[in-house]
Chain A
Amino acid sequence: MKNNNFFYQEEKKELISINITPLIDIVFLLLIFFMLATSFIQKSTMEVNLSSGTSQSIEKKNVITIILKKDGNISLNTKLIDLLNIKKEITKKLEQNSNYIFLIKCHKKVEVQKIIRLIEEIRLAGTNKIQLRNF
């Protein structure tokens, strides 16, 4: 009886002490791989429709000029405006006349990031009628 108990205990001990170190090693390696190889940045796109030669006559009174200066300052019809307020201002303009075309005149050296941000603010205001030019 005593002997039987002894063997049972030995068997129990062996079962408990499974070597899990290789498993931890592999899991660590996988973790390091996924931490280095993955990113949480979400991709997006911005569509730009080109007129491709279709010249339309645009009335000057329907054009609102937005000037984007080299230092990033924005002026809407010669009035200096903050980027965060531009959506509100453009929404007001569109309520008056929905046919307004927004002409962005940007400095040659201004970064693309600023232009894209400005275009998005105008689009959020509810229009896609945007033209882009350099000065």
Chain B
Amino acid sequence: MAIKKKIKQINLIPLINIIFLMLIFFMLAGTITKIDPYNISIPESIIKNDPSTPFLTLVIKKNGDVFIASKNKKKQLQNKNYLEILQQRKPKEIALKIDANTPSEHFVNILKILENEDITKVIVETNYKKN
């Protein structure tokens, strides 16, 4: 009977302490990621810059498909022609979310197109990686 009682009373407090510590670590050190509907892996960079991006984002997939996305989630722009939207809105700056494995021809082509649309600044989104 005495042995049975001992088995029942396993001390869970150290376990709870560690779980709490892990929870606090993940809550403070991590940032909650948004689900990327385009499923692309953006390039890595060794220079840390301001991560804020303009309102409109051009998304370029590995196969060269171009999508346009807005920070305003209520407006679905993805299905429209991106050139139409650029001509309507005439932005001066635009963010570019490009897959790291995209052939450079798509990248250079899109820069030329944006230049023709009088866009002066393109902000390429990257993941910072310490060198």
Contact = CB atoms under 8 A, between A and B. Distances in A.
Contacts of B30: 34, 37-40
A111 B100 contact: yes
Given A46-B49, A113-B100, A133 B108 contact: yes
B81 interface: no
A46 B126 contact: yes
Contacts, number: 155
Nearest to B41: A113
Given A48-B111, A110-B104, A112-B100, A120 B45 contact: yes
Interface residues of A, number: 43
Nearest to A123: B47
Interface in B104-129: 104-105, 107-108, 111, 114-115, 118-128
B19 interface: yes
B31 interface: yes
Interface of A: 20, 23-24, 27-28, 30-31, 34-35, 37-53, 106-113, 115-117, 120, 123-124, 132-134
The 3 nearest A-B residue pairs measured at CB: A38-B30, A43-B51, A34-B26
